[in-house]
Structure 1
Amino acid sequence: MLSPAAMKVLLLLLVLLVTATSADLDSQRAALLALRSSVGGRTLFWNATNQTPCNWAGVQCDRDRVVELHLPAVALSGQIPTGIFSNLTHLRTLSLRFNALTGSLPSDLSSCVDLRNLYLQRNLLSGEIPEFLFNLPELVRLNMGFNNFSGSISNSFNNFTRLKTLFLENNQLSGSIPVLDRLSLDQFNVSNNLLNGSVPQNLRTFSQDSFLGNSLCGKPLSLCPGETGTDSSSPFTASPGNKSNKKNKLSGGAIAGIVIGSIAALLLLVFLLIFLCRNKSSKKTSAVDVAAVKQHPESEVVSHDKSISDLENGNGYPTAAAAAAAVAVNKVEANGNGNAAAGGGAKKLVFFGKAERAFDLEDLLRASAEVLGKGTFGTAYKAVLESGPVVAVKRLKDVTITEKEFREKIEAVGAVDHQSLVPLRAYYFSRDEKLLVYDYMSMGSLSALLHGNKGAGRTPLNWEMRSGIALGAARGIEYLHSQGPNVSHGNIKSSNILLTKSYDARVSDFGLSQLVGPSSTPNRVAGYRAPEVTDPRKVSQKADVYSFGVLLLELLTGKAPTHALLNEEGVDLPRWVQSVVREEWTSEVFDLELLRYQNVEEEMVQLLQLAVDCAAQYPDKRPSMSDVVRSIEELRRSSLKEEQDQIQHDNNDIEL
């Protein structure tokens, strides 16, 4: 048992420790408030009456010490004063990216000797890269891209022996790139500066994109004067004086054999081409008369100017059937006068309330057709009727319910009327064929627009278009959810978001998951499916929200869910985005076409956060679609106001 004197000493030590901790926390709190008062920030609504800053947005603590400060895209502006970071010496991560900070870095940043991650990209910081920065030996990731830093790249970067990421692109840096032979970098970029000279040997493993926009030479760029295209150190390169080269020369007989073999291969290729051309000429052209398919009812009409991958991706309409109506022709005409023997009654197109009855089943069967794509519920066709209208027809597959159930469910779908939904105009039901007729959307699907043509003729999707598409799709899904607590879409994906000529979004394929069996849900839909969904016919509204979150991520990143793989198999899009954002590489997430728009970074980050919230692992953590619509409306208003303010500012400058 401790003596009274020892107890007093122990108590005194505890009091001193608590006092020191309290004083340390108070100084950190004061430093953060001083930072806020110096550089502002529209979202820094920190509660100054709260004694601990550890509960403030963007602040993370470990044992009452501020170890992470995340303030991305919160409209910080002006210069960071000296004296802030000398009271935040335990920082391990500092993120001030996507703001409007100016001037040079404060010298007391060198006090943060535990700093591992420093993200300053996309500000207006200037001056030379300060030498005191190289007194931070623990740095692992440093991003200073898209600022106005000038001067040379110091050889002192070699001090960062733990550095894995170094981004210095889009600045005003000049001179040559030093030999950074003490670094083992995974990521490196100095593009779009004023650099010259040759690329150091140890950096030549990085791609051209890391060096473009400078006056540099050497691999991976063009060779420097005096360099040769071969590596003299290669074991496969013989020296000029090596006599063994003579032995490697081909004999005349070998050369003759190569020539004869080449001629034989060429003749074989010519015969093969002739055979293929004859086969091709016997096939149908891209647009055919649907009725002509009667002779081969099991064939499908495929446009020759589209690849199989185009058809699978849905370049035009979600999924379904019109030329497939050709298959129904045999069965319909076999029973006389357009009547099919399903249930014993006459079968015809059934139109919904507002739909104009401009054609009948016979007109549809005579229409020329073109496959648009194969989807979850069947195959979709563009049908051009002789009377002029163009419609999209979906041929359903794997319908497992009775005719009575089908009619009840499809009539409920046809009764849905909203400007952000693709209206169902008519349907046809027989024992063997189930056809749905929709308005044709000439601009195709969001999937085709994002992942289709990447060439010179491509229309880039800017921020206004993408955020508008997101809002339109969200409104359509919100309307479906408003029809009742058990009403959901069940198959939200980018190929089911169709676009008008003005790029307004229309949601399609709603209500169809109740018509088909579980076998109609291929693996390619899995990237959008919420983790709790086991039966694709039973999808909750919260599961719809998850799918919409994946759709937003696809819209922002330009990546299809099944293509967003890192270095391991099976990494889905939400997990990939979260892993990148967690490492503060947010600019790496966005589609390159979006990074052109410098004035909407904050809105982009906000929409990204909304997408991550929607794709939360657990349903109760996801917002409702009404909340999603309100959030997108708000950030679009914010974006529009900033644009108007910028226009007014520019006009004022012109007047002055």
Structure 2
Amino acid sequence: MSPFTIFLTTILLILLHHHRVTSDLTQETQALQTFINNLPHDSRYSWNPSQPICTWRGVTCDPTNSSVVQLRLPGAKLAGKIPNNTIGTLTHLRTLSLRSNALTGTIPPDFSNLVNLKNLFLQHNNFSGEFPATLLKTVGLIHLDLSVNNFSGEIPVKVNDLKNLTNLLLQNNKFSGELPSIDLESLVNFNVANNNLNGTVPMTLSKFPVTSFSGNINLCGNPLPSCNNTVAPSPAPVVGKKSSKLSPAAITAIAVGSALILAIILLIVLLCCRNKTKTGQQSKQVSKPVQPGGYRTGADVGTTSSSKDDVTGASAESGRNKLVFFENIYGFDLEDLLRASAEVLGKGSVGTSYKAVLEEGTTVVVKRLKDVTVTKKEFEVQMEVLGKVKNENVVELRAYYYSKDEKLLVYDYLPAGSLSALLHGSRGSGRTPLDWEHRMRIALCAAKGIAYLHVAGKVVHGNIKASNILLKQDTNRDALVSDFGLNTLFGGLTSPNNRVTGYRAPELLEARKATFKSDVYSFGVLLLELLTGKAPNQASLGEEGIDLPRWVQSVVREEWTAEVFDVELMRYQNIEEEMVQLLQIAMACVSTVPDQRPAMQEVVRMMEDMNRAETDDGLRQSSDDPSKGSDVHTPPTETRNSPATVTP
């Protein structure tokens, strides 16, 4: 071929490649626009069609900008069914993350076109239907997370076709039937907890921990308790001669027993008649009014408890005082509340909390305050302020009661418990760790709740700690802030702030009241608690006289930042950058100079804008650049001996 012919051929090939690239991107642009326009979504993902698709938020193209290889829309407020002929047309896609949305329906059949897909994150949605058969055709899958959805039916044995699979997470669904024998050499993480599975755990899966199978009540076998399906045989009938007539001794024993039984019956009848006569005489007397006696504990139902730890109620002042509701959504009154059976949930710095179950079945939380020093008028004014606080990230105050001897607050009951219990409770071999994603979501929900208190409610929380962050099992609101605004009831710092060691801002040693800035400090300690897994007291730090912020500073100054982080987080790869960023935010919050701390609304903004730098393979890059706001560093990832988990 002549040089001219070669030149023309080269030009033609370039033009054909450019046409193909342009055509592919045009189709992918149209598909993504159709997808986002047909679903409710966060305004941040309202892509501008006049801008190149590779610049859109959540969209990543290959190095030549010729095709979309990653689509990441976590927590984008997407709701509804995924339209057909949208995502399924992105044939070059390698990573797809739609986690933590409100997507419903089944997985579209055209997902079978995603032949290059490596990582699929669909957890925390409302997908339904059977195990998506269309995904079994994406044989290159490495990470598949369908957890916390409504998938049902059997788990297919054809999962074994996914030869490259390292992570298969199916927990918290409605899968049923027997577990198939999944035998994949590459499989590192496997979880089917909290489904409706039955039968025996296959030998090929018995290497995984018990937490991978817990919550399936009809599942057994290693590592779960062994299966014991044998039924004890009925005793064989006695073969032989029929028994002879009763002996004289047996007849005598029967006669004596019958006489004793008759005597007991006659005694019971006499006692009943006597009690009836006594009751009739008492009914003729003028009875005195019965005063409400307080909650009945589980062991004392039907009796009045005089224990110091039981709520004694309004007593003689019940006629002048009443339970004051802000919105009476329950329909009970003070008498109903005082008759309720109660269970102690915990004793905090401001009082004791009870789980109260009323006779009609309603369950609420009643907080019995102690050492209140303000007058009734001051108490009522503060309650009116707190009663107006209504936000999805705070626990609403439903009602209150004030008398000379008792001050009660009524809240909704949240059965999921507190962050403190979830983070620090039962740390052992059978524990399911609190993963990074949930720690971040809980932290952000708490930050939003506190920011709302500061900005909209003009309320200082005054008692921020992990036990006052309550959990709600809900994909949209994971945590709510409780016990806010009560510090003013105790005359300065004599109650909550003086008792909650570890969370208290240093200036409160001399100041007489909590402030917005001291709240920020306490929230910073809470973030450090989430990052380190350590409770902010001396006992957990193993060093006398040191608090959590100073301990973190000392470790960061002398060692790798990774030494600070909770060992339970070390099993999750590619989250180092986010952990370091949150650590930087926390250290800004716990500055010893109040004016150097950010406002809570700024903390929320920083947490929402945390950089999620990702490589072309969907792995987060580790940040060790001290110019990004801190002098801390992370060690090379190859020093981490943890499962090969890809984080969406």
TM-score by length of 2: 0.47
TM-score by length of 1: 0.46
